[in-house]
Structure 1
């Protein structure tokens, strides 16, 4: 391995892999309390170094390793604990933990490929000063940071002020030329703690190639190497010296000096073990105009930059630093989370969910699977990262079954969300707000009009149609709200199930959620009605007992069934013994009193008339009703239960060897209605169906 100083001639052939750069050092104690001659020497070295390379090492800087040690301790916590300090919002302006997958700083100038998103975790603390005093809320920080972060910030801010004095002297500027731009309360300082994750291949980068875009940056690294800098088009490894700090110049430094000083391109290469760093970014008042300073060396050439405010420049760079479309799951047609004892996604492994707050599982709404149980007070929800589920500038449909428990009218309960920033069209949220459905993109939303029912399963949907530019919310298959709206614009952000973040922190659900679906199109009213109300559908084609509806309620044959020619394709032939049923109780809504229901089928009696049960609802013991029967004379009869007696509606005598379509409906407003071949045949009048109060099975072709 060769070590090169800044004055060496570079020779790649002398390096086995990558040369290590010996970076110039300045002793801060000599500048702070040294002689004028020592200060001038430091200023000259500073000037030469930033003119040629843009990075220098600071020794005797009064910064200890205490915060680095605390950062390692924090990042070693389990993800569930760290996510308690995650706040979904503007990445760089929001204090808290940042999981991997939310940032990609690479500008793709180098030889290696950057990963789609940087392989890091971070903790950011945007620093606020008021009247030159640190404005600090201790409750916002994990306990292990509460003592060390304020102390670190104050020391780092003082060190940056000394650096500004060196810069003034190096460029022969008036005293406080640099620092006067930083004394306003709008100055931008950010403390960043970073954990770099080991990479699978050396061809990837842990942190992409980039230039810092503010003023000077302080970097404190641990012992693990990884930082690389680009000097004259060649990459050099930077030796890790934890007792020192690296000082880099950002793009504001280039703009102020008209490129006389350099903002160096740097990156973090693939690391084989965990690596940590502490960074302190400094930027001026964001309202100030960044233009060339009046130093002789800076104005020797015509200005290379048009004046720009700090805010404008920062916004441009932040947009560029959000994850690119390669971070986003490409062309996801649909996604499905069944929550059958896990948060896995059925079709796309990179969309598997992870759990926050240790939620549990309960029996699902259709009784054969599970649903996830979320407790709001424990901030329990599911999150999907690092892959971003794409919602931007497109149509989509989100559907779920939810079971709300103990809702308050003054509280928001999240169902599904993705929040890049709490700004217009950048924060997707589907929730129950004021006990009504609410879906939108932040300041571009559609509320529902119906109060949701608690302690019961309900079907909900949020739809956006990019062609008609319409938002919709649906409750139990019925349109509950519609609004003309521009499209969602967010490109990144953690997708969450059971929580939304448009209020700044997690608005978690309270109850159960099951069968969450996403489709990259706007479903129509018929499709949503079927998803919400079609319990099961059997074509019997080829003798199949597979449910063709949305719920997967597959039947089981008891006895020997045969296949025959049907009214539509094929049918099942029953004789006196075989029937179709289930080993569990899948029909939740048949256990709810007053709940509307519909049963429809084609029937063809053969041979001679005998008493037959077409549809039977009941458990092995207890509540039961023969919903559809044919008497020994061939008459069709529909039956329900009022709580005290059977309610009976008679139909026609079914013609032997002829297919007849039978439709049987119930609602609390119309009672029972019997339809034959599409025409209403008879009705019961109004009554309230008295159910068993528990989910029920159905037996087809027997009892």
Structure 2
């Protein structure tokens, strides 16, 4: 009988100098999680508590500003930087799925990422690696966010070494895909002032979607809201364990493995308690891969019995199609497989 389960995995043998047997055990556990659920809780990641506390305080300070002040930091959608006001996105469009109400996801967000200036001597350009905007109204915000960004990137890079071992590719395989990776940290706030929404309506904090890139490292409050689609078509509540980060793989990993690893659909359905939405914060670090990297099915994951499910595509092309859906309201018609799974889950 199928039972949905997100395993907890201690990755400390890969963070430090663990034994070969200890690393092999982590590799097997990660491989199993990627094949069966696409999500895992990771502990032993080594991010200092002080870095996490500073991030929380920075999020509170920025998202606590008046809405009109925050809107000063809105950037063009294609740049994937700066502030996103509530109800200006609909993530389900990234899969070509109509949401209940157009552009109805009521989270607000702030994005930062790697700039083209960080990758001299590569093909990185401002078109795919935009400069960051920092809110001068919150002086401590930049230092706190940059410190967490560096730690989350370290964790993501550690995981790519585990992935290489699990997928039986050369140890440096992912370096060629991520040495000038499009890395983005999206900080989300799920809360709105009283009276700004109809609490009896079908509320969507963040619509159904898969993540675009290779791997996502998520810090989140221990508050209900995140739901993950199981293999049986059911939506399942997932909350971070104490001290854990949630990790899920994205579309790039699914393409490499011909869907043997699952880029799992997920959404946020915020809880309503005593007539108000309980506040939930999160910070998702997306390790997406090089913009110019061509992603296709690895040869040993395809056969005459299991032909490639995806045509090769660059990371930049794939992300552009997804962003055009979620932020410009243009359906992404290429996400046929994911869209079918959402439709099935809706009955």
- Deviation of the 1:287 alpha carbon: 1.1
1:164-563 matches, cutoff 5 A: 164-184=160-180, 187-197=181-191, 200-201=199-200, 203-232=202-231, 233-241=233-241, 243-272=243-272, 273-294=278-299, 296-297=300-301, 301-322=306-327, 324=329
**Counterpart among 155, 158, 163 of residue 159 in structure 1:** 155
- Deviation of the 1:131 alpha carbon: 4.7
Distance 1:216 1:253 in 2: 7
Distance 1:254 1:196 in 2: 28
Q: Tell me the alpha carbon deviations over residues 35-70 of structure 1, each in whole angstroms, 9 at most, x when there is no partner.
A: 111111111111111111111111121234221332
- Deviation of the 1:175 alpha carbon: 0.4
- Deviation of the 1:323 alpha carbon: 5.3
Q: Tell me the alpha carbon deviations over residues 489-542 of structure 1, each in whole angstroms, 9 at most, x when there is no partner.
A: xxxxxxxxxxxxxxxxxxxxxxxxxxxxxxxxxxxxxxxxxxxxxxxxxxxxxx
Distance 1:115 1:201 in 2: 17
- Deviation of the 1:114 alpha carbon: 6.0
Distance 1:130 1:219 in 2: 24
Q: Tell me the alpha carbon deviations over residues 86-142 of structure 1, each in whole angstroms, 9 at most, x when there is no partner.
A: 1342x252532221122110158999946642101111112223359x998796664
Please report the TM-score for the alignment, with normalisation by the length of structure 1: 0.40
- Which runs of 5 or more structure 2 residues have no equivalent in the other structure? 122-128, 273-277, 331-347
- SS of the aligned residue for 1:236 comes to strand
Aligned residues: 302
1:569-648 matches, cutoff 5 A: none
- SS of the aligned residue for 1:322 comes to helix
Contact 1:87-1:97 at 8 Å conserved across structures: yes
Distance 2:99 2:145 in 1: 35
Distance 1:49 1:182 in 2: 22
Distance 1:320 1:111 in 2: 10
Contact 1:221-1:242 at 8 Å conserved across structures: no
Which structure would you say has the larger Rg? Answer: 1
Please report the TM-score for the alignment, with normalisation by the length of structure 2: 0.79
- Deviation of the 1:312 alpha carbon: 1.4
**Partner residue, 1:82:** 70
Distance 2:133 2:92 in 1: 33
Distance 2:201 2:160 in 1: 38
Contact 1:127-1:191 at 8 Å conserved across structures: no
Distance 2:41 2:308 in 1: 29
Q: 1:153 to 1:270 in 2, by over 3 A?
A: closer
Contact 1:201-1:270 at 8 Å conserved across structures: no
Distance 1:183 1:322 in 2: 27
Contact 1:222-1:241 at 8 Å conserved across structures: no
CA RMSD of aligned residues (A): 2.8
Distance 1:111 1:239 in 2: 27
Contact 1:255-1:305 at 8 Å conserved across structures: yes
- Deviation of the 1:22 alpha carbon: 4.3
Distance 2:161 2:43 in 1: 16
**Counterpart among 88, 94, 108 of residue 102 in structure 1:** 88
Q: 1:244 to 1:169 in 2, by over 3 A?
A: same
Q: 1:114 to 1:242 in 2, by over 3 A?
A: farther
- Deviation of the 1:275 alpha carbon: 1.1
Q: Which has the higher contact order (CA 8 A, sep 6+)?
A: 2
Distance 1:110 1:135 in 2: 28
- Deviation of the 1:262 alpha carbon: 0.5
- Deviation of the 1:34 alpha carbon: 1.4
**Partner residue, 2:119:** 130
Contact 1:52-1:261 at 8 Å conserved across structures: yes
Q: 1:274 to 1:229 in 2, by over 3 A?
A: same
- SS of the aligned residue for 1:147 comes to helix
Q: Tell me the alpha carbon deviations over residues 543-601 of structure 1, each in whole angstroms, 9 at most, x when there is no partner.
A: xxxxxxxxxxxxxxxxxxxxxxxxxxxxxxxxxxxxxxxxxxxxxxxxxxxxxxxxxxx
Contact 2:294-2:314 at 8 Å conserved across structures: yes
- SS of the aligned residue for 2:40 comes to strand
Structure that is richer in helix per residue: 2
Q: 1:94 to 1:43 in 2, by over 3 A?
A: closer
Q: 1:242 to 1:79 in 2, by over 3 A?
A: farther
Distance 1:115 1:205 in 2: 11
Distance 1:135 1:149 in 2: 17
**Partner residue, 1:25:** 8
Q: 1:211 to 1:241 in 2, by over 3 A?
A: same
Distance 1:22 1:9 in 2: 9
Distance 1:211 1:114 in 2: 19
